[in-house]
Structures are given as structure tokens and as C-alpha cells.
Amino acid sequence: MKPIKTERLKKLLIIGFVWPEPNSSAAGGRMMQLISVFAANRFKITFASPALDSDFMVDLSQFGVEKKSIELNNSSFDDFIIELNPDVVLFDRFMIEEQFGWRVAENCPKAIRILDTEDLHCLRTARQKAFKENSTFKLTDLLSEEVAKREIASILRCDLSYIISEFELKVLKDVFKIDSALLQYLPFLVEEMSEEDLLKLPSFEDRQHFVFIGNFLHEPNWNTVQCLKETIWPLIRKDFPEAVLQVYGAYPSQKVLQLHQPKNGFFIMGRATDANEIVKNARIVLAPIRFGAGLKGKLLEAMQCGTPSVTSVIGSEAMHENLPWNGFIEDTPDEFAKKAISLYKDQNLWGQAQKNGIAIVHECYLKDKYSEKLINRVNALLNDYEVHRLHNFMGSLLQHHTLKSTKYMAKWIEAKNKHL
């Protein structure tokens, strides 16, 4: 009797900027979504990071993922990756690819290199700069951004980059002329909401208060809370004196905590123990986001919780295709405040907004819609990486020069550290 051949488990190495904290940020949730797709498709996953452990990091072992601490500018990583010999390496943000990409390319040249951009940092940076300078942002501003040069170089060096927003996909193709063969649209990936899930959602009458939720290490979130405190909330309280806004978020600084003002209905609540429960029991999510990029996890979470939202054009960017929004999209403070109050008080309006949000979830974010495409693209690269790289001449050119310059800078730092 012939032995039955079993297919070898493919190995995925994820190199994280930080350890995943799905309860602290949308980025942490996104990473766990990617892990679940690869795990379901028989990849043996190792997650490595140079970051320090945190009190709120997920226990990766519960998901069958091996955890490995690594060091920056240290050749011990070379020994580690040679022994692991992964089939696929996923870099969490371009800064990680800059640090470790050349080591992966040198020690495991056959490994497929994938970049998860999270969002386009150059877009967020350029918009933030335009906001602070009180100027109008133009897409051509991106061409002069220093971070754009680094980020685009990282995208070109990789075999594939996951792009979370269709708007950013268009920017990469139209402004930076990136070949579609190097890009894959991959939004947040969520499970379908069943009839049972919908019936469990708290009713209009059982909900109260406005809420904002967001990680305060992320500058656009801090700026949004400033906008709420200084501009939006005074307008809401003027016409709705009993209104209450609860602001939740991980890692609040002292400047955030100082905004706490119960007499004006403005409450800084700190870290949310269970963000899902908080959003589910709120009546409205407020998010007057003034700059940023990517997709807004807080607004998708609101839809999944059946909670309507009022946000800005940038907040809603690339999130709902041509479907009606889960509430209102307003950039003018007066209109934003009026729409927030009417949505809070009008049960019929609120109910329709909730239905809109659930329709957006089902149309735009279902895991089943994208997970097969994700794995098929990875398998195609594994089978044909040499031809793929041959057609990415600019990437090969950048890989060649980056490997030389970054390699010797890293070796100089390593040698210097040994003498300290």
C-alpha cells in the first residue's frame, strides 16, 4: 500500500510594527483578519516584531500563531529567517519593510514579499500638513512628500501590496503610475450579519448618548476630538442641552484627559473594555474627521453594531461605494450638528440609517468576498514569482540599490552597538 501524500503546510512570516491589539485599534483588528484568512488556508504562521510586549496585545498562541521577538539592526534576524525559511513574508507597514525587507530578500530570495500598507501614510501626512497650513490639499502634493518616496519605493520592492481603500488604489495607479500587478484591493474583512445578529441589536429606545471611539496614538483621532470639543459639541448643546457625548479611546494622553467636562455633557471615558458593547448601546457615533487616509474602522464598527453615524467627507471616503450612508456626511459644522440632533431624535430616520449601514457591510466588507482572491493571488505568486519579478524592473532596481545602502547602514549600526 502506497503512503498517502500530504500537502506541506506553507509557512507565513508576519513582521509586525507592533503586536496586534484588536481592542485598541482598527489596525490590530485588520491584522487579526489577515491571520484568520491565512490560517484557514493551511498556512503555518509565525508573527515576529521588534516591539515591546504590551498589556493589551492579543495572545497569538490562541490562534495557533507562533510569537517571536526580533531586534532591529541585528544579524540574529538572518539566522532566524534562514532557519524558518518562510514561503511568504508579510510586512506590516512600509517602515518594517525598510528595516527587514533587504534581509528577507538576501536570505530567502524565493519567499514572496507582501506589504500591508494599512493606509497610505503619505496621503495622511500630506492632508495633515495641508490642514495645519490652512491650504487646499491637491493630489499632486503627494509628489513632494518625503514619506511618499519611501512608501512608494517599499511598494515597488515588494511582490504585492494590500491596499485597503479603492481611493488609494486609484491614487497609486494614477499619481504614482504603479502597475496593477503589484497591487491588490483588500478592505476590512468581516463576517456576514445573520437575522439572529440583527435581532440582538439594542433598539432605538434602549440606546442613549453620542459616542466617539478611537486610538489616541493616531493623530487624526486626537484632532477629531479637538474638533468635537471646540466646534461641534457647543453647537449640539446649544439646541440639545441635555445631550451627552462619551469619548473612548486607548492611550489617552494628559491633554486628552483635560477635555473632560461633565457639566457640559462632554465625558472622556478612556480605554473601552469592550468597544463593541459601547458602540452597540450608543445611539449615534460622531466622527468629524478632518484629515486621514485608509478606511475608518470606527465607522465600520458602528455599522456592524447597528449604530448610525455622522461623519465628514474624508471620514466616509471609499467606505460605501455608491450606497446611501449610515447616517449623514457633512463637512460644515452647523449642518453636522443639525444632522446629528435630527438623527438622534427621529426614530424613523435612525432606523433607515441603521439599514443603510448593514447594507454597506454586506456589500463592501464580507470576508468571503475577498479571502479566496487573496489566497489565489498568493498561490499564483508562489508558482510564478520569477516571471512576476522579471516584469517589475523598477522594483528590482530599487531592491538592488536599497540592499546595498540599507544593508551597510544596518551593519554599521550593529557594529557600533557592539562597541557601546
Does 225 lie in the same domain as 284?
yes
Last residue of a domain, one of 364, 386, 408: 364
Q: What is the pLDDT of residues 56-89, one digit of tens each?
A: 999 999 999 999 999 998 999 999 999 999 999 9
- As a whole-number percent, the residues of the chain with pLDDT over 70 amount to 95
- pLDDT for 169 beyond 60: yes
Does 390 lie in the same domain as 359?
no
Does 230 lie in the same domain as 178?
no
Q: What is the pLDDT of residues 259-307, one digit of tens each?
A: 999 999 999 999 998 999 999 999 999 999 999 999 999 999 999 999 9
Does 122 lie in the same domain as 79?
yes
For residue 2, is it within any domain?
A: no
- pLDDT for 3 beyond 50: no
Does 318 lie in the same domain as 170?
no
Does 208 lie in the same domain as 84?
no
For residue 3, is it within any domain?
A: no
For residue 81, is it within any domain?
A: yes
pLDDT band of 417, cuts 50, 70, 90: confident
Beta bridge partners of 160: 114
Residue 326 in contact with residue 252, Cβ under 8 Å?
no
Last residue of a domain, one of 364, 381, 408: 364
- pLDDT for 1 beyond 50: no
Residue 147 in contact with residue 124, Cβ under 8 Å?
no
Tell me, what's the pLDDT at 54?
92
Tell me, what's the pLDDT at 195?
86
Does 376 lie in the same domain as 259?
no
Does 275 lie in the same domain as 360?
yes
Does 340 lie in the same domain as 269?
yes
Domain count, the chain: 2
Does 94 lie in the same domain as 78?
yes
For residue 341, is it within any domain?
A: yes
Give the CA distances from residue 100 to residues 77, 108, 120, 187, in Å, rounded to whole numbers and listed in that order: 9, 12, 19, 25
Cell triple for 412: 554599521
Closest CA to 280 of 204, 387, 178: 204
Residues whose CB is less than 8 angstroms from the CB of residue 385 and which lie 6 or more positions away in sequence, other chains included: 110, 112, 159
CATH number at residue 48: 3.40.50.2000
Tell me, what's the pLDDT at 336?
98
Side chain identity at 120, as an amino acid letter? L
Closest CA to 95 of 150, 54, 25, 34: 150
In terms of C-beta density within 10 A (0-12 exposed, 13-18 middle, 19 or more buried), how is residue 237 classed?
middle
As a whole number, mean pLDDT of residues 30-56 equals 97
For residue 287, is it within any domain?
A: yes
Does 184 lie in the same domain as 132?
yes
For residue 395, is it within any domain?
A: yes
Does 357 lie in the same domain as 208?
yes
Beta bridge partners of 258: none
Side chain identity at 185, as an amino acid letter? Y
pLDDT band of 398, cuts 50, 70, 90: confident
For residue 14, is it within any domain?
A: yes
For residue 252, is it within any domain?
A: yes
- pLDDT for 8 beyond 80: no
Query: Alpha carbon 60 to chain centroid distance?
Result: 19
pLDDT band of 405, cuts 50, 70, 90: low
Query: Residue 412's domain spans which residues?
Result: 10-189+367-418
In terms of C-beta density within 10 A (0-12 exposed, 13-18 middle, 19 or more buried), how is residue 267 classed?
middle
Closest CA to 275 of 254, 256, 294, 302: 302
- As a whole-number percent, the residues of the chain with pLDDT over 90 amount to 88
Tell me, what's the pLDDT at 418?
73
Q: What is the pLDDT of residues 340-395, one digit of tens each?
A: 999 999 999 999 999 999 999 999 999 999 999 999 999 999 999 999 999 998 88
Cell triple for 136: 487646499
Last residue of a domain, one of 343, 364, 385: 364
- pLDDT for 410 beyond 70: no
Tell me, what's the pLDDT at 7?
64
